[in-house]
Amino acid sequence: MNLAVIGSGGREHAICFKLRQSKRLKKLICIPGNGGTEELAENIKEDISNFEAIYNILKNKKIDLVIVGPEQPLVDGIVDYLKKKSIKVFGPDKFSSQLEGSKAFMKDLCKKNNIPTAKYGVFNNINKAKKFLDEKNLPIVVKADGLAAGKGVTICNNLEDAYKQTKEILDGKFKSSKKVVLEEFLEGEELSYFVLVDKNSYTFFGSAQDHKKVGEGDIGPNTGGMGAYSPATILNKDLETKIKKKIIEPTLNGIKNLNHSYTGFLYAGLMIKNNEPYLIEYNVRMGDPECQTLMMRLDSDLIEIFDLAAKNELNNFKINWNVRSCMTIVLCSKGYPGNYKKDNEINNLNLVTQDESNQIFHAGTYLKDNKIFSNGGRVLNITSMSKDLGEARNRSLENLKKINWQFGFFRRDIGWRAIDKK
């Protein structure tokens, strides 16, 4: 098959990495790709918001199936556009993508379908928002309604900060957000739970635990993700049954009740307390950096999985996973998630042996004159597998030592809940 992957991050590099292993692959392109995908696919530089240009590329390259990596084109309706052009594409349509594109839509769906989640209010008026805040216990979570690249959520421990964050969102801090969602703070341990959905069924697609805070010990502002490990040690059979029955299935049925059907990846960001799941948020694509850990652990043919999903034939397919633990540590540009510099050369990547247990997945990079340069806040994903999670972390840290890049930083404590608190 001829496949196209849309996106330029570590998630897309990891997907290309797995697709490249399939015997069914004939041609692979990545739009626009990065310095890492250059080695696996034909990178084609194009603005992924330009759907017409994307369509022309896909048509000219005779692409059989498109995998959309990032959330923005999904929320903007790329699946609807390409399907109208008779291009087979994997991912949810514009309506269903509101699960990620609008936190208000997601919370309202939860309310209608009795899905356990934090109590909340949705506001576009600062005075009404302040009244809500005045009546709630602290801490309180302030969320931009629309997409914010993982940076639109703040946990506020005092009212002054909550007022400030709320006002900034309503004043247009995030262009996609005209409303603010205020919700109670949920205590517990986070879990990333993934399913693959076609029109007839869904199947489990792995678990992970993400680390969103920029600083060690989970302090500081939110990021797009500083690291992740898989499988999540907190997940057990009883909890998984609850997740499916209380969260995943009511969500998919809720979409159906709105006369739509969900297809693609569905990622439930959960808070677990006393072995009970509560929905924090939905993402309508694979997580990043969780995807990197899952692609390393996936033992089944990814093209076969995508093909069956596109044909709505997932029902009887068993996905096989490597039992080993996998960890990704994200190497970021100094200053991230605030201001940071780009275009800095990264050296000694060749010193890291890349094999079935160790990989470097590129995120914010580009290739120029056979050299790799930084091109974003999250730059590289150092990923390692081992029988033991602690050893997987040690391997990633050892590989990071080999890389020469003075403009980067990373967290050394990824997986601390599973490793350091034993």
How far is Cα 416 from Cα 172, in angstroms, rounded to an integer?
36
pLDDT for position 401: 97
pLDDT for position 148: 73
pLDDT at position 177 over 80:
no
pLDDT for position 152: 81
How far CA 305 is from CA of 5, 22, 117, 231, 300, in Å, comes to 15, 11, 31, 20, 8
pLDDT for position 381: 98
Q: Encoding tokens for residue 324?
A: 């080993």
How far is Cα 341 from Cα 422, in angstroms, rounded to an integer?
38
pLDDT for position 176: 72
pLDDT for position 189: 92
| Strand boundaries in 63-216, DSSP class E | 65-68, 89-90, 120-123, 140-144, 153-156, 180-184, 189-197, 202-210, 213-215
pLDDT digits (tens, 9 = 90+) for 216-257: 999 998 899 999 999 999 999 999 999 999 999 999 999 999
The conformation of residue 298, written as its DSSP 8-state character, comes to: B
Closest Cα partner for 150 from 377, 422, 418? 377
* 5-14, 99-108, 347-356: range with lowest mean pLDDT: 99-108
Residue-range domains of the chain with CATH? 2-94 (3.40.50.20), 119-184 (3.30.1490.20), 189-310 (3.30.470.20), 325-419 (3.90.600.10)
Is the CB of residue 31 less than 8 Å from the CB of residue 48? yes
pLDDT for position 150: 66
pLDDT for position 422: 52
* Predicted confidence band of residue 172 (pLDDT cuts 50, 70, 90): confident
pLDDT for position 270: 97
* Predicted confidence band of residue 174 (pLDDT cuts 50, 70, 90): confident
pLDDT at position 363 over 70:
yes
pLDDT at position 71 over 60:
yes
Closest Cα partner for 16 from 36, 40, 32? 40
Of all residues in the chain, what percent carry a pLDDT higher than 90? 85
What average pLDDT does range 90-110 have in this prediction?
A: 93
pLDDT digits (tens, 9 = 90+) for 105-161: 999 999 999 999 998 889 999 999 999 999 888 899 998 887 877 678 888 999 999
How far is Cα 216 from Cα 86, in angstroms, rounded to an integer?
47
237 CB-near residues (< 8 Å, 6+ apart): none
* Cβ burial 256-279 (10 Å sphere, 16+ → b, else e): eeeeebbbbbbbbbbbbeeeebbb
368 CB-near residues (< 8 Å, 6+ apart): none
Q: What average pLDDT is seen over the chain?
A: 94
418 CB-near residues (< 8 Å, 6+ apart): 209, 229, 233, 234, 389
* Predicted confidence band of residue 299 (pLDDT cuts 50, 70, 90): very high
pLDDT digits (tens, 9 = 90+) for 302-357: 999 999 998 899 987 899 999 999 999 999 999 999 999 999 999 999 999 999 99
How far is Cα 48 from Cα 156, in angstroms, rounded to an integer?
35
